[in-house]
Amino acid sequence: MNIVIIGAGAIGGYLGAKLHQSGENVSLIARGKHLETMQSQGLRIIEQDSETVVHPSVTADYGVVKEADYVFLTVKAHGLLDIVPVISSLIKPETIVIAGQNGIPWWYFYRHGGKWDGTRLVSVDPEGMLRESISPDQIIGCVLYPAVILESPGVIRHIEGNRLSLGELDNESTERCRQLAIILKKAGFKAPIRKNIRQDIWVKLLGNVAFNPISALTRATLIQIASFDKTRFLVKEMMTEVANVATKLGIELPISIDQRIEGAAGVGSHETSMLQDIQYGRPMEIDSIIGAVVEMGNLVGVAMPYTQAVYACVSLLNNSVKNT
């Protein structure tokens, strides 16, 4: 299979490396020093019990990549709009698109059914460019769980986790979803097919929506936030608000808020993606992780005072990063 990974940073690079090792024809699209190092020295993957160097095809030029059977979009959510004009050459009618951004995806209400079916979330797709460029019929929902970091250009360290949950947007059981799961399992991933992929989105989001922005604002790790009474209280209040939005949208969360907090604390001193972004002076994924949830809260009539307050603060912080 021809597989293209757009945004071969930490998670995209790790995914691409494992698929390459399993025998798939993988092309990584990246940029900057990371791209240059992968081209000259290969991509080094460091895991708990092994260290390997792989040499998949790597480029910054979308035009040289063959037509793709699968396109994994692993750029940050705010970077999706930047690549829309250049990915049309890769995405043909038969191409399957797997979007692996954190937070609420732009396609959330597409093929959703019910009252909100087809609703466009302005926070993540302001002008509808993503909807116009990528047909919902081509998308397979995906939630990425591996914790990985880009340790240095060309070097990716895997911290923990190997699960990628999959699911059709309309919750149907399909052969194309089963085939994708087979490919991912061959590469060493757990790839469960969910009856409702949106439930997985909310379970992961429940932690990200609180821990990510709080970590960026305080420069604290997961265990520090969960262990300090005042921030733990704030996390719990934000999670409660988010869970209320999920409930209004018909999502039954299979895990309690306390369990979700303990799960995050169990990861230890891991730095969230937003904290890493701030440390390196990069814009954060605030709109998909927290802005979209606030928009959905307004849509369904759920008050979110704690979440809105944190959203305001982290938005200001993000603006300061963009303007430096």
Which residues are part of the catalytic machinery?
A: 204
The token duo for 178 is: 């089963």
d(C-alpha 91, C-alpha 231), whole Å: 43
Element (H, E) at 165: strand 164-168
Burial class (CB in 10 A: 0-12, 13-18, 19+), 38: buried
d(C-alpha 112, C-alpha 117), whole Å: 5
With tokens 């891991």, the residue in question is 270
Count the helices and strands in the chain (H runs, E runs).
Answer: 13, 11
Choose among 123, 144, 147: nearest CA to 72: 144
d(C-alpha 247, C-alpha 263), whole Å: 21
d(C-alpha 61, C-alpha 103), whole Å: 28
CA-CA-CA-CA torsion sign (170, 171, 172, 177): positive
Choose among 191, 67, 81: nearest CA to 132: 81
Angle at 298 between CA 293 and CA 299, to 5 degrees: 90
Contact predicate 252/317, CB 8 Å: no
Choose among 15, 1, 5: nearest CA to 58: 5
Contact predicate 101/72, CB 8 Å: no
